[in-house]
Amino acid sequence: MDVDRIYICPSRDPETWFWDLAKEENMNEFRRLRPVGHFVTVHSEMLRSVEMYLFEHATDAKDFFDKGYHEREHAIGHGFHVVSLTLDDKEIGAKVGSAPLELITVDVLASSYQEINSIAEAMRNPSNDLLNEASLGWNERQEEISANVKILASFEPLCILDRVDDNEYRVRTFINSCERCCWKLAMRHVQLVSAQYPTAIFLVDYRDLLTSYAGKNVIRAGEQVQHLHDGDQQALGHGWAIPDIFAPYRAEFEQRREFGSMWNQWLEDMGTALDRLRSEGSKQVETETASADPAKRDIPWLNKHVVISLTEPPGERHTL
């Protein structure tokens, strides 16, 4: 099993968790407990990671599987998808964990690292405008509303996508995970931040982890410029009819061209690519003409361009 992080719960101190196996005492504890075979694994769909929680006693592992992992959510990260229980190295059961239903990631393309840092602060801290809008629908004290909105709507920076050096970057990814009912609140927060930074480009990707839809939004100056919704996925968690509408905006950004200037070109090129797929897909493959020699098979793109010789040293190519 490939595991990204291991936590160890020693019997002498059940409130303490060890995870840094670079420390000799932790590694010794791991070597002692791993052969026992009592552990819980937590699969994070969002972080694409697997974490193992090792126990000395089967009852402790089962208790953690039943309810204890909820208390460890802050250590696990932004929610998780599948929790499984193994006793004596035999998997006993698995269940869907507390993975949030809605996952929203936002790639922000800014003009400078000063601006992206400022945007990062705004994404973490919902504005008073959002708090005022939210307070209209909640019958709670202002302090409670503020705390709840921050939990539900704030976005945490996930990674840096564009780095010039250690101090300069212009693109960052932000992530929010929330219940489906709070999706509008999180998206409204993105819209308000975008309005504060009208030249930055917000590329929003949203998906439901437990149903079958996803979508992409392009937002600039607080306005939705493009939107595509993939509402009929054929397999859970896998996109179906959702091309990358972010591509032209990323290309414009890299080439420092005017916003929206490459959209029509991208549409035409995508249409051409789809037409080519339809044309190639409609052709019948004549298996009778295929032979054991790859150089003689009736493969149009292979015969018209380059074939790698099977008898000559690697690296030598011959054009037919």
Torsion sign (Cα): 135, 138, 139, 145:
negative
Amino acid identity at 59: T
CA 65 to chain centre: 25
pLDDT at residue 201 greater than cutoff 80? yes
Residue 156: beta bridge partners?
175
What Rg, from alpha-carbon coordinates, does the chain have?
Answer: 26
| Digit-coded pLDDT (tens) for 222-270 | 999 999 998 887 876 678 889 999 999 999 999 999 999 999 999 999 9
Please return the burial class of 204, using the count of CB atoms within 10 Å of its CB with bins 0-12, 13-18 and 19+: buried
Query: Are the CB atoms for 138 and 147 separated by under 8 Å?
Result: no
Q: pLDDT-derived band of residue 221, with 50, 70 and 90 as boundaries?
A: very high
pLDDT at residue 27 greater than cutoff 70? yes
Please return the burial class of 210, using the count of CB atoms within 10 Å of its CB with bins 0-12, 13-18 and 19+: middle
Confidence (pLDDT) at 3:
57
Mean pLDDT of the chain: 75
Q: Where are the domains of the chain?
A: 5-96, 102-245, 287-319
Confidence (pLDDT) at 42:
77
- Which residues have CB under 8 Å from 62's CB, separation 6+? 85, 87, 92
Q: Strand 82-87's sheet: what is its strand order?
A: 5-9, 49-55, 38-44, 82-87, 90-96
- Helix, strand and coil content of the chain, in percent to the nearest 5, comes to 40, 30, 35
Q: Which residues of 267-276 are buried (b: 16+ CB within 10 A; e: fewer)?
A: eeeeeeeeee
pLDDT at residue 314 greater than cutoff 70? no
Confidence (pLDDT) at 219:
97
Confidence (pLDDT) at 280:
82
Which of 196, 201, 186 lies closest to 133, judged by CA?
186
Q: Which two tokens stand for residue 94?
A: 């698995």
Q: Strand 223-230's sheet: what is its strand order?
A: 156-165, 168-178, 102-109, 201-208, 214-220, 223-230
Average pLDDT rounded to a whole number, residues 134-160 = 72
Say how far apart CA 259 and CA 309 lie, in whole Å.
47
| Digit-coded pLDDT (tens) for 55-69 | 888 888 888 887 766
Average pLDDT rounded to a whole number, residues 143-149 = 72
pLDDT at residue 93 greater than cutoff 70? yes
Query: Are the CB atoms for 123 and 155 separated by under 8 Å?
Result: yes
- Which residues have CB under 8 Å from 149's CB, separation 6+? 126, 130, 131, 134, 185
Q: Which two tokens stand for residue 309?
A: 């010789």
281 vs 13 pLDDT, higher one: 281
Count CA within 13 A, CB hemisphere, residue 209. Answer: 24
Amino acid identity at 162: D
